[in-house]
């Protein structure tokens, strides 16, 4: 199942890329977008100029997943998300993203891109593929996983807007 999520930020691509490469932001964003779950790990390596990698591992409650899917995933989900960003290319920064749910037959892979928005801000666009290897219920699991991933990415975008406005910073 294809998944596209677009986020917008009221700042330039350079400023947004620097935010995404800030380890404090990565941890804060993960905590803000986890809801009732817990952040187990949030690490960042590299830099904007050379390219960087952000890895987040968190646990989430499954209360918002449809009841027919819960037997496949249990009461809590361990979600591992990795974004690998390349060095900037002009006004664009591109990367790859992988998200997997431990113990569940679901994986999301794709690309992510920062680009100037027409209003002077920045668009962050995720293009991904959600795959579930569950006989008979694969489509239902993929749809539920896509909803959860979309909600998480939208929450991360809201956290980014708040960070740019000064929230969460020391």
Confirm whether 169 is domain-assigned.
no
Mean local confidence (pLDDT), 90-112: 89
Q: How many domains does the chain have?
A: 1
Confirm whether 170 is domain-assigned.
no
137: containing domain: 2-164
Confirm whether 52 is domain-assigned.
yes
Confirm whether 151 is domain-assigned.
yes
95 — pLDDT class (breaks 50, 70, 90): very high
What CATH number does residue 152 fall under? 3.30.530.20
Confirm whether 43 is domain-assigned.
yes
Q: Which H/E stretch holds residue 144?
A: helix 138-164
Give the separation between CA 74 and CA 16, rounded to whole angstroms: 36
**pLDDT at residue 132 in the model:** 79
CA separation (Å) from 101 to 38, 106, 142, 143?
A: 14, 6, 12, 14
Mean local confidence (pLDDT), 79-88: 93
**pLDDT at residue 59 in the model:** 80
Is 88 a residue whose pLDDT tops 80? yes
Confirm whether 21 is domain-assigned.
yes
Averaged pLDDT score across all residues of the chain: 85
Confirm whether 24 is domain-assigned.
yes
Express each pLDDT in 132-155 by its tens digit. 776 666 777 788 778 878 888 888
**pLDDT at residue 61 in the model:** 66
Q: What contacts 69, CB < 8 A, 6 or more positions away?
A: 137, 140, 141, 144
Confirm whether 22 is domain-assigned.
yes
């Amino acid at each position: 199942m294809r998944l596209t999520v677009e986020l917008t930020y009221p700042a330039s691509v350079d400023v947004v890329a620097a935010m995404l490469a800030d380890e404090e932001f990565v941890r804060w964003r993960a905590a803000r977008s986890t809801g009732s779950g817990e952040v187990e790990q949030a690490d960042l390596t590299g830099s904007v100029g050379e390219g960087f990698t952000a890895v987040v591992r968190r646990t989430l409650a499954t209360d918002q997943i449809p009841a027919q899917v819960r037997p496949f995933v249990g009461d809590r989900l361990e979600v591992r998300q990795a974004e690998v960003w390349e060095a900037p290319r002009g006004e664009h920064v591109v990367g790859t993203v992988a998200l997997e749910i431990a113990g569940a037959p679901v994986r999301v892979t794709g690309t992510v891109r920062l680009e100037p928005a027409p209003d002077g801000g920045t668009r962050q666009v995720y293009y991904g593929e959600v795959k579930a290897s569950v006989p008979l219920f694969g489509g239902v699991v993929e749809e539920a996983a896509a909803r959860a991933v979309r909600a998480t990415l939208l929450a991360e975008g809201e956290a980014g807007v708040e960070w740019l406005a000064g929230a969460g910073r020391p």
